[in-house]
Amino acid sequence: MAAPGLAAYLILAALVFTIGLFGVLTRRNAIGILLGIELMLNAVNINLVAFARFEADLAGLIFTLFVIAITVAEVGVGLAIVIAIFRVRRTVDADHLNLLRG
Amino acid sequence: MTLTSLIVLGLPFASFAAIALVRPLRRAGRVAGWLSIGAIACAFVAALAVWRAAPGTEAMWAWIPSDEEPMVTVGVLLDELSSAMLVLVTLVSLLVQVYSLAYLEAEPAPSLGRYYAYQSLFAFSMLGLVLSPTFVQMFVFWELVGLCSYLLIGYWYDRPSAARAAVKAFWITKLGDVGFILGIILLWGATGTFEFSALFEMARSGQIPLAGLSLTMFLIYLGAVGKSAQFPLHVWLPDAMEGPTPVSALIHAATMVTAGVFMVTRTMPLFELVPGVLTLIAWVGAFTAFLAATMACVEADIKRVLAYSTVSQLGYMMAAAGAGASAAAFFHLGTHGVFKALLFLGAGAVIHAVGTNDIFRMGGLFRTLPRTGTVFVIATLALAGVWPLAGFFSKEAVLAGVLHGHLAGPFVLLALTAFLTAFYMFRVVFIAFFGRPHDVHGHPHEAPPLMAVPLWILAGLTIGIGLRFVIHPPEGEHGPAWLAPLSLGLAAAGFVLAWATYHVRIVSAAMLATLFGPIDYLARRRYGLDALYAGLYGAFILGFSRLVGWVDRYVVDGVLNVLSAWTLRGGDVLRRMQSGQPQDYVYGVAFGVLLLFVWAQFWR
Amino acid sequence: MTLETVVFGLVALALLGGSLGVVLTPNLFHAVLYLAGALVATAVVFLLLDAAFLFAVQLLLYAGGVVTVLVFAIMLTERLIGERITQTNRHVVNGAVMSAAVFVGIAGFIVRSSLPAAESAPADRTVELARALVGPFAPTLELLGVLLVAALLGAVYFARTED
């Protein structure tokens, strides 16, 4: 078998993305949802790096770097919010966090 | 002369406008009354001037434009017919308005102002009707006159019976008016014009298509049936007595109800083209005269008796018109206007003095009200057709005309009616003015001068017109030599029967009633016509109204309610999309992305 | 079968297994651990793709920092001692269907498009990356610094105790 081509990496990334989406949709715990988001971002990174490799374009790598940095910031702030909510509502169950209900 | 006739027309209108628009004037009551009287007096003088001058002019102005010539014109038409009516209307209006000042003195001032506004409006409407040179203008004033009748019958609007009577009058005449307007439109469709002069030209030269003309003229006649209270649309006139007595004298004796007769006489050239309809008019008129006379014989309310008498005399006029003797019809219209107004005003004086309309509650009034009694008896003699008063000549002219038209049946009916007329009028005279006085509230006093003067003027006119015709016998057809003795004899017979029954009481009224049992029974119940109308109204019109109301509530409103309910429910459903849970929103995003994929794949 | 393919297959398996573990395990703490595994596997993927610098960054920041922060957060929000950290998923079927549909969509795109073939492995590009970061992408780097400061401030604000 030849070396895995771009398609293989893209399919792998798509799978991880899908699994992450599944996690976001189904997890009840707020932190669980954040984990799903992590997976989705991860999949995007794999995509970017794969394209950078196969198209010999540096932009993919730079993009990935920035995405990682931003993701870290996002996780930090997100978890701070979760903790703040937990303090007020004593729960992180996403089903109960429906104050924005119409 | 055109200008003068416009002055006659304009003065009452100006009075009406002033009283209606200037609030302090209306609230001042008697001041409004004097203004209205002043206007109508000047109009009367102008009308005399028009009548004196040789009439026969016509002036028209365009109103609704059309391609070449205007479709509808307005104007004034002056001939013997309209100028005579001008004098009659303004004179009786003037006398009635003066009389009203005294009759309605107990009314609060704003109401009195309202009354005079209506009176001025009515004078304007009636004068406009009389001066009309086209069907359209006549119809407009026709409706205006009907409106004034409604307003004046319902003048005491807080009395439920008065309000009902006003509405009833309006409805019934409206029935006739529907036929009238249909006939006008059909006639316009056949001839292309509304103007009388053009129509009469076409009639004379035979240009009007005869097919369907009978129906058209019959429909036009229906308007007269309503307005002039012919059978079966006569039921509103007795109830119209709810209005003040001067109103009854003016509108329901001398002027408005004669509008139908006036219209038929005015358009006689058209009616002459359809002799079948004329015969029908004569028969209906004679039948109405007889029917109303029978109903007058059993009435206890003095005004109702006079109302039925009016219906009966209107039948006389219509019968003459139908027989082709329109001059006789108009002659009777004029004389009847004078003595019937006198009768009503005299009855008003009695009611004002005694406080009741019921003749069986009166009695022996001749002793306490000699002057009123005198004029009343004079008018009664005129109505009964006794020589040498005016009524004798006009009644003889009517009978002669009917005979000449070879209408035997109507003639017999009219002759019987003449007998009954004398009978019921003298019945009233004997019961109310002679005999023992019954319990009477208050003490009766003679009429105040403002009421007495019009009475004497009218009585003078009744005698004067009669004497004029004694000196100058009327032109036109005379009947056969036996006609005059016959009518006098019938009147005398009626007088004798009334005297025997109600004065010396040698004939028992109860026995008479049983003798004419069935007629008596039916007459007391007004031949069931009122009940019939009420039933029809309740069944059809109210039923239709209920249906329309149901449709409005459940269909029209229903559609709107359904739409709004759907909107609300739709909003409710859509609201659930906002669950407040971000995961549901991610669902939405994912779904949108899928749609984008699909779109990108297939619709590129 | 080249070595590369085998390694790729193994790493892929590890990554997928970790991902599935993240979303399926009821115990949140285990989920974080699975995530750590998945992140490490991703780093190896980066390495396979000749991005050594990113391999290092991924390990440091993600597998190190993010996972640590997540663990702290879990400990602060779930009472570990005495209480089961468990959760039942909601609407699993719906989520699975939706996710599968998205995957099918993406895979469809991938399959239909013409992808460039593998080229020879380029040289290590870290120096190039550095040059780019301080060169054309310098403003972006500065902005990233600002963003991180903002995020830091935000996190501190949110997580402060009410006095």
The whole-number pLDDT of residue B537 equals 79
Give the tens place of pLDDT for each residue, B586-596: 888 998 998 88
A3 pLDDT higher than 60: yes
Q: How far apart are CA C60 and CA B174, in angstroms?
A: 101
CB contacts < 8 A, B to C, total 25
- The verdict on a CB contact (< 8 Å) between B593 and C98 is no
pLDDT mean over B54-59: 70
B464 pLDDT higher than 80: yes
Least CB–CB distance from B597: residue in C90, C98, C105: C105
**What distance in Å separates residue A38's CA from the closest CA in chain B?**
15
pLDDT mean over B429-452: 74
The whole-number pLDDT of residue A1 equals 45
pLDDT mean over B305-319: 91
- The verdict on a CB contact (< 8 Å) between A98 and B583 is no
Which residues of chain A lie closer than 8 angstroms to C92, CB-CB? Answer: 26
- B197 falls in which pLDDT band (50, 70, 90)? confident
The whole-number pLDDT of residue B251 equals 85
Q: Considering only alpha carbons, which residue of chain B is nearest residue C105?
A: B597
- The verdict on a CB contact (< 8 Å) between C77 and A76 is no
- The verdict on a CB contact (< 8 Å) between A98 and B580 is yes
Of B359, B490, B358, B335, the residue nearest B420 (C-alpha): B490
- C160 falls in which pLDDT band (50, 70, 90)? confident
- The verdict on a CB contact (< 8 Å) between A66 and C140 is yes
Give the tens place of pLDDT for each residue, B513-569: 777 777 777 777 777 787 788 788 778 888 898 999 988 888 888 889 999 999 999
Which residues of chain B lie closer than 8 angstroms to A98, CB-CB? Answer: 579-581
Check if the beta carbon of residue B107 is closer than 8 Å to that of residue B148: no
- The verdict on a CB contact (< 8 Å) between C102 and B594 is yes
Q: What are the DSSP calls for B448-491, one per residue?
A: PHHHHHHHHHHHHHHHHHHHHHHHS---S----TTHHHHHHHHH
> What is the share, in percent, of chain C residues with pLDDT greater than 70?
86
ipTM of the assembly? 0.88
- The verdict on a CB contact (< 8 Å) between A39 and C19 is yes
Q: Considering only alpha carbons, which residue of chain A is nearest residue C76?
A: A83
- The verdict on a CB contact (< 8 Å) between C109 and B597 is yes
Q: How far apart are CA B212 and CA B3, in angstroms?
A: 39
The whole-number pLDDT of residue B158 equals 87
The whole-number pLDDT of residue A71 equals 93
- The verdict on a CB contact (< 8 Å) between C62 and A5 is no
Strand B72-78 with B57-64, pairing: antiparallel
Which residues of chain B lie closer than 8 angstroms to A102, CB-CB? Answer: 575-580
Q: Considering only alpha carbons, which residue of chain B is nearest residue C103?
A: B594
Which residues of chain C lie closer than 8 angstroms to A57, CB-CB? Answer: none
Report the mean per-residue pLDDT for chain B. Answer: 85
Give the tens place of pLDDT for each residue, C75-128: 877 664 444 545 566 678 888 888 898 998 888 888 887 777 666 666 778 888
Check if the beta carbon of residue A30 is closer than 8 Å to that of residue C33: no
pLDDT mean over C151-156: 88
Instruction: Identify from C23, C97, C102, C103 which residue to disrupt to test chain B contact, counting B C-beta atoms within 10 A and taking the largest count.
Output: C102
Give the tens place of pLDDT for each residue, B370-395: 888 888 888 998 888 887 788 888 88
Which residues of chain A lie closer than 8 angstroms to C119, CB-CB? Answer: 54, 56
Strand, coil or helix: what is B60?
strand
Q: C-alpha distances in angstroms, B231 versus B322, B445, C123?
A: 15, 39, 120
**What distance in Å separates residue C73's CA from the closest CA in chain B?**
20
- The verdict on a CB contact (< 8 Å) between B598 and C105 is yes
- B3 falls in which pLDDT band (50, 70, 90)? confident
Which residues of chain A lie closer than 8 angstroms to C64, CB-CB? Answer: none
- C1 falls in which pLDDT band (50, 70, 90)? low
Least CB–CB distance from A68: residue in C23, C58, C157: C58
Chains near B with 3+ CB pairs less than 8 A apart are A, C
Residues on B contacting A at a C-beta cutoff of 8 Å? 575-583, 586-587, 590
The whole-number pLDDT of residue B568 equals 92
Q: Considering only alpha carbons, which residue of chain C is nearest residue B592?
A: C102
CB contacts < 8 A, A to B, total 34
Write the CB contacts of B453 (distance below 8 Å, at least 6 apart in sequence). B98
Q: How far apart are CA B142 and CA B260, in angstroms?
A: 9
- B440 falls in which pLDDT band (50, 70, 90)? low
Q: Provide the token pair at B197.
A: 């002069």
Write the CB contacts of B125 (distance below 8 Å, at least 6 apart in sequence). B141, B144, B145, B147, B148
The whole-number pLDDT of residue B258 equals 85
B442 pLDDT higher than 90: no
- B67 falls in which pLDDT band (50, 70, 90)? low
Give the tens place of pLDDT for each residue, C33-79: 999 999 999 999 999 888 889 999 999 999 889 999 998 888 877 66
The whole-number pLDDT of residue C80 equals 47
**Candidates 3.90.850.10, 1.10.287.3510, 1.10.357.10, 1.10.760.10; correct CATH number of A6-96?**
1.10.287.3510
Least CB–CB distance from C151: residue in A17, A53, A73: A73
Which range has the worst mean pLDDT, A45-49, B218-222, B367-371? B367-371
- The verdict on a CB contact (< 8 Å) between C133 and A10 is no
- The verdict on a CB contact (< 8 Å) between A102 and B575 is yes
